Amino acid sequence: MTLQEIIKQLDLTLLTEQKDFSEVVPTCGYASDLLSCVMAGARHRAVWVTLQSHTNVVAVGALLELSAIIITEGATPDPDTISKANEEGVTLLLTEKPTFRVTGRLWELGLRDS
């Protein structure tokens, strides 16, 4: 399952720069809105699902080299956060759907938690 397929299947909006997402294969998924938990619990190159849109999500994404961060419930980050994500090479994706729905769809598509 590539990130490109995930973006297409879940109809996600790309907030950061376009890349070749057909080359990005996430290792697994993780969902939490507590960044301290994410830093401790998410795996490298995971897809992280959260409704937290604070600029610190970018640092966590860069730290764990996440494949992408899916921000739910339309919680759009501010422009500074998006430009920081571009600087750090972190991919931010947005959806109006809630976290439960997004993680359910990711599971259906075959993404697992480890």
Partner 1 sequence: MCLGHQHMSGAHELRTYVAELHVHTVVSPCAAAEMIPPLIVREALANGINLIAITDHNSSANVGAVQKAAEGTSLSVLPGMELQTREEVHLLCLFDALAELETWQALVDERLPPLENSIEYFGEQFVVDETGEFIRRETQLLCTSADIPLKEAVERVLKIGGMAIPAHVNRKAFSLISTLGFVPPNLPIDALELSGHTNPSWAYEKLPQLRDYPLIQNGDVHRLDEFMGVNVFRLAAPTIPELRLALHNQRGRSLAIRHSMN
Among 19, 43, 45, 54, binds partner 1 (CB under 8 A): 54
SS3 for 74?
Answer: coil
Q: What is the DSSP string of 2-30?
A: -HHHHHHHTTPEE-S----GGG-----EE
Q: Is 59 in the site for partner 1 (CB under 8 A)?
A: yes
Binding region for partner 1 (CB under 8 A) out of 6-14, 20-28, 33-41, 65-73: 33-41
Closest CB to partner 1 among residues 36, 114: 36
- For partner 1, the closer of residues 2 and 56 by Cβ is 56
73's CB contacts (< 8 A; 6+ apart) are: 51, 95, 96, 97, 98, 99
Q: Does 72 bind partner 1 (CB under 8 A)?
A: no
Q: Which stretch binds partner 1 (CB under 8 A): 3-11, 23-31, 48-56, 87-95?
A: 48-56
Three-class secondary structure of residue 36 per DSSP: helix
Pairing status of strand 13-14 against strand 92-94? antiparallel
CB-nearer residue toward partner 1: 25 or 34: 34
